[in-house]
């Protein structure tokens, strides 16, 4: 994997303590089958001289699937195992030193916990950064959560690939994507699951759906707004369906009657009803009672 072509959407990290009794390679292969498109070996318990066997086994697995393989903390181990790169912590060797050791072809990522650290990583030449922990996580004991605000800051400013990490699960992944993340890393949620493949597939599907939605929004913005009459007033909107228009006006969960050009549109048809220039739309909020 060349640095120039490097990108990913779902990042999986090993955590054998999350799946006692299950084989490391089997668990990570299931994650890859589900859609994980980069794998990191992270093992804080085993001495580095005893990690080479695991690293080589993961290197063989990831080569079979064409997935980049990253080693956490140990650039020398990454070289010996022929990994694609290394992931550093804030207390590990500087990026420049790791680059001298690894050469120009290897990928170097680094964990960041604030926008200031993210900026410094970009200046230092990181190929990607971790943004988090978004939520408290047992894999980072004692590390306070950076929160969704850091995700929003990274989305607004950081141009190199970055991945939201830390406590991300199926229950909160959508709010991380809502905050601007386009890449997710889940550790215990994937490898601690009885079905890592299913969890990976669901996370990847949510990322892909969000990308598709953003692409559609960009295309609409490029087309420009359309003019229509809303409740008797001329207005402009970039919404392209009645459902989008209703949601943008904060009426999605309200009891309303919606009409387009004099025809009532049932709630089930809102998302499938296109808006055309010159349309007359009426949104009437009503309350029940006698």
Instruction: Give the residue numbers marked as catalytic.
Output: 42, 111, 140
For residue 239, give the nearest of 256, 263, 258, 264 by alpha carbon: 258
| Matching residue, tokens 């030193």 | 97
Alpha-carbon distance of 34 to 230, in angstroms, equals: 45
- From residue 69, alpha-carbon distances to 35, 210, 232 in Å are 14, 25, 59
Closest alpha carbon to 88 in 68, 66, 110:
110
Q: Please give the Cα distance from 8 to 127 (Å, whole number).
A: 12
| The dihedral sign for the CA sequence 31, 34, 39, 44 | negative
Residue 28, both tokens? 């990570």
Paired sense of beta strands 85-88 and 69-72, if any: parallel
C-alpha angle 252-233-222 in degrees, rounded to nearest 5: 70
Helix (H) or strand (E) holding 41: strand 38-41
Residue 39, both tokens: 């794998």
211 Cβ contact list (under 8 Å, min separation 6): 9, 182
* Three-class DSSP category at 9: coil
């Amino acid at each position: 994997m060349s640095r120039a072509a490097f990108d990913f959407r779902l990042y999986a990290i090993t955590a054998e303590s999350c799946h006692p009794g299950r084989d490391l390679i089997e668990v990570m292969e299931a994650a890859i089958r589900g859609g994980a498109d980069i794998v990191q070996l992270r093992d804080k318990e085993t001495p580095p001289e005893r990690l080479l066997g695991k690293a080589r086994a993961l290197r063989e697995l990831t080569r079979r699937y064409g997935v980049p393989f990253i080693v956490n903390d140990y650039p020398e181990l990454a070289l010996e195992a022929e990994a694609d790169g290394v992931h550093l912590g804030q207390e590990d060797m500087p990026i420049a030193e790791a680059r001298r050791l690894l050469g120009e072809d290897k990928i170097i990522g680094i964990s960041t916990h604030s926008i200031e650290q993210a900026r410094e990583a970009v200046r230092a030449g990181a190929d990607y950064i971790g943004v988090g922990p978004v939520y408290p996580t047992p894999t980072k004991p004692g590390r306070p959560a950076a929160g969704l605000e850091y995700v929003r800051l990274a989305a607004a400013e950081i141009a190199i690939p970055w991945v939201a990490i830390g406590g991300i699960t199926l229950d909160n992944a959508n709010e991380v994507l809502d905050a601007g993340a386009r890449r997710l890393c889940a550790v215990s949620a994937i490898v601690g699951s009885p079905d890592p493949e299913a969890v990976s597939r669901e996370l990847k599907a949510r990322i892909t759906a969000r990308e598709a939605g953003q692409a559609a929004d960009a295309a609409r913005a490029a087309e420009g707004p359309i003019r229509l009459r809303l409740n008797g007033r001329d207005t402009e909107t970039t919404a392209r369906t009645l459902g989008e228009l209703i949601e943008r006006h904060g009426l999605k969960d309200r009891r309303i009657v919606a009409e387009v050009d004099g025809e009532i549109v049932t709630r089930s048809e809102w998302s499938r009803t296109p808006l055309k220039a010159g349309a007359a739309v009426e949104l009437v909020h009503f309350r029940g009672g006698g």
